[in-house]
Amino acid sequence: MKKIFAALIISAGLFLFLPAQGFALADVSAYGGYMLKGSIDEGSATEPKGYNYGIKAHYNTSLVPMIELGIGAYYQNTKFKFDWTPGNERKFLRMSAGLDMNIIVNLPVLHPYGRFMYALWDDLEGDVKKFKAYGIGAGVEFTIFPLIRVFGEYIYEKTKHDFNFKTNSINLGIKVNI
């Protein structure tokens, strides 16, 4: 009886600490965050500040043991405001969608990753641009259950409309592996 109990404990421990990507073909994530710092190359007296939220999904494959590649898509909304000229605060909504790629190091429980985003469609208050925005960042995922992870990430984004718009954001989210 002791051997069966020990085998169950060991099996449960291995199941809890196996990288979830090791048996997940796809993942879906929802996230939200805050734009800590941004810049506009002309006309702005202050930095834009605001929040963003979005979803992303990936098809996952293994590059080498412990390194996963996720290729998929994302959709993100960013609501921000800034003073275009002193005392003239304006609010903006930016929506973007495009390709998303993650490279994840699958360690037990913690999973650092790099993220690259390329917007196929980017809408800033009705000014739609195609293939003019990208983002790059890094983060870490924490396994809370074998198929569920929470994550935090830093993202730098740049888009070209009538002006160059750059953002630095911190996002928190939840990821479900399928």
* DSSP three-state, residue 107: coil
How far apart, in whole angstroms, are the C-alpha atoms of residue 31 and residue 53?
6
pLDDT at residue 10 above 90? no
**Domains parsed from the chain with CATH numbers:** 2-177 (2.40.160.20)
Q: How far apart are CA 165 and CA 154, in angstroms?
A: 17
Instruction: For residues 85-101, give the mean pLDDT.
Output: 86
Choose between 70 and 5: higher pLDDT.
70
Neighbour-count burial of 69, counting CB atoms closer than 10 A to its CB (0-12 exposed, 13-18 middle, 19+ buried): middle
pLDDT, one tens digit per residue, over 26-84 is 999 999 999 987 777 765 656 788 999 999 999 999 888 889 999 999 999 999 887 76
Question: Mean pLDDT, the chain, as a whole number?
Answer: 85
pTM for the model: 0.81
